[in-house]
Amino acid sequence: MGQLKLIRGTEWYGRLRNMYVFIDDQEIGSIPFNDYKDFKIPDGNHVLYIKIDVVRSKPLSITIDSSRTIIYRVRLPDVFNPLKLLISLFDGKNQISFEPESTDARITKF
């Protein structure tokens, strides 16, 4: 089993809701606002995506290996206007995104 660490920031959108984590179309957990979670994932190739309300990330292909830990910072769209949010669902520009982290930045929690 490998380790996947996801860090959620402090974006305003979705502040009161959990972000749901999916691996290979199976929900494996959720991350509350300004928090982080560690997930144990079987070794191998997987598809990761995040969902909050109707906003969803693009699928991300990841390779899990028990000899290393994968760390991502998850960014929500910067959308305050409901109309912009609706448009973002179709244009793909303001989706949830993943930013790789080289070290475990959780010790400097937001």
Give the model confidence (pLDDT) of 51-83 as tens digits: 987 778 889 999 999 988 999 999 887 665 667
Those residues with Cβ within 8 angstroms of residue 81's Cβ, 6 or more apart along the chain or in another chain: none
Q: Is the CA virtual torsion 52, 53, 55, 58 positive or negative?
A: positive
pLDDT given for residue 41 in this prediction: 95
User: What does the domain layout of the chain look like in residue ranges?
Assistant: 2-108
pLDDT given for residue 110 in this prediction: 45
| CATH top class, domain 2-108 | mainly beta
For 33-92, give the DSSP string: TT-EEEEEE-SEEEEEEEEETTEEPPPEEEEE-TTSEEEEEEE-----SHHHHHHHHHH-
